[in-house]
Homo-oligomer: A and B are copies of this chain.
Amino acid sequence: MSTLDTSRLERVQEKAAILAEALPYIREFSGSIVVIKYGGHAMEDPALADLFAQDVVLMRLVGMNPVVVHGGGPEITAFMDRLSLPVEFVEGLRVSDEATVEVVKMVLVGKVNKDIVLLINRHGQPAIGLCGDDGLLFRAARQAAPSGQDIGFVGRIERVNVGVIEHIASDYIPVIASIGLGYDGQAYNINADTVAAEVAVALGAAKLILMTDVPGVMDRQQSVISVINRPDAREMLAGGAVSGGMIPKLEACMRALDGVPQAHVIDGRTPHSLLLELFTEGGIGTMVTQ
């Protein structure tokens, strides 16, 4: 009687092993909230964007509650140019006068947010877009640049109204634009990584995942650090072992650890990076733990 040929058998056994490896994670995270900061190439490259949407939908299918947070720098700048408004950055942060914030809000809420909502909808799970105004989701306070220089209506989050996200997430995938409302009624432009961290803490998420355009946090040998704990990460930040755009990302991870067991910096350029992070034993990128 015929049986499976050897090479097919090997492939089958590998499949079986991957599945047996994945199923306990699916169980573990079933019902859990995972907050994902979406951005970078994974947002700009249509093929990656499509795989991202597919992953978010699959997460929902197997019982998780993904919450997507996004910013949208390049689209804002492009629109500012069309309106001939000056674009200025201080210490990597957009200087935001009233006209700028109005444009930021229109582009993020009226364009970028809805594009993501549609992309997810198209893969078969309904998403709803939110910004800080909806149900008074975020309360923001003005925040200067790290150096202390005033940069206008740029804010930090003071309060997250979790009820709103939970209500939406009970039936829909929430997609949140990083716009907050000040107690003065003014809109504030807020960094999306820190929004994602604050949302994750407020929701008591199981994980925060920051999608970036790098493989993870690097050690001095430029190898990806697979797992790092909080004290070590704090030391890296203090000792200048991380630099550039990774600094705010790692700081966002540290903040998240106030209420979230695991924060991840993953490479959004890897297809299905979310699935790999969630459902394989080593995950990908860097995990920051307690």
Over the window 247-290 of chain A, the binary record of Cβ atoms lying under 8 Å from chain B Cβ atoms (1 yes, 0 no) is 00000000000000000000100111001100110001000000
Nearest-neighbor residue (CB-CB) of A219 within chain B: B2
CA distance A14 to B21 in the complex (A): 14
Q: Which of A1-33 contact B (CB under 8 A)?
A: 1-4, 9, 12-20, 22-24, 26-27, 30
Q: Are A114 and B118 in contact (CB-based, < 8 A)?
A: no
Q: Are A109 and B102 in contact (CB-based, < 8 A)?
A: no
Interfacial residues, chain A to chain B (CB-CB below 8 A): 1-4, 9, 12-20, 22-24, 26-27, 30, 54-55, 58, 61-63, 82-83, 102, 105-111, 114, 117-118, 121-122, 126-131, 133-136, 163-164, 167-168, 170-172, 181, 185, 187, 214-215, 218, 222-224, 267, 270-272, 275-276, 279-280, 284
Give A274 Cβ to nearest chain B Cβ, in Å.
9
Which B residues are CB-close (under 8 A) to A171? 163, 167
Give A83 Cβ to nearest chain B Cβ, in Å.
6
Which B residues are CB-close (under 8 A) to A223? 2
Q: Are A114 and B131 in contact (CB-based, < 8 A)?
A: yes
Choice from B15, B55, B82 contacting A280 with Cβ under 8 Å: B15
Give A192 Cβ to nearest chain B Cβ, in Å.
16
Which B residues are CB-close (under 8 A) to A279? 19
CA distance A132 to B63 in the complex (A): 26
CA distance A3 to B111 in the complex (A): 33
Q: Are B224 and A2 in contact (CB-based, < 8 A)?
A: yes
